[in-house]
Amino acid sequence: MDHVGLFTADREKYRALAGAWVTPESLRCVQCGVCAFNCPMGIDVRRHVWRGEPVTESACLTCGECVQRCPRGLLRFEPFAPARREGRGG
Ligand code: SF4
Ligand code: SF4
């Protein structure tokens, strides 16, 4: 990963800590499964992308691994609404 990539990744992690879901841009997904394969929590990120839904599992660490690993750059952190934050322990 180059420096620009690292910077982007760190910025994404920072945004995640502020409270965000991993959110897909589903239309360009090739269903390669790299995102799910690299998730340390075993979350089926690919399925979320297929369904066009953000990763809302409480198990998500917002580690940003899936965001960094997607070869097409389709995943990003999007802030979630306060009402939906309940149940995530935050
Ligand atoms: S890594 Fe990217 S392209 Fe591959 S399944 Fe996940 S979201 Fe789709
Ligand atoms: S942010 Fe981390 S824990 Fe959450 S779905 Fe992506 S890889 Fe898994």
DSSP string for 45-58: HHHHHHHT--B--T
**18-30 residue pLDDT tens:** 688 999 999 999 9
Spatial neighbors of 19 by CB under 8 A, at least 6 apart, are 79, 80, 85, 90
Closest among 53, 54, 49, 51 to 72, alpha carbons compared: 49
User: What is the rounded average pLDDT of the residues 58-87?
Assistant: 84
Q: Which residue has the tokens 């839904």?
A: 53
pTM: 0.76
For a mutational test of ligand 1's pocket, the pick from 30, 45, 47, 76, i.e. the residue with the most ligand atoms closer than 8 A to its C-beta, is 30
Ligand 2 mutation pick, 44, 66, 76, 80, max ligand atoms within 8 A of CB: 66
From the CA of 33, the nearest ligand is: 1
Question: pLDDT digits over 39-56, tens only?
Answer: 999 999 999 999 999 999
> In order of start, what are the domains of the chain with their CATH numbers?
3-88 (3.30.70)
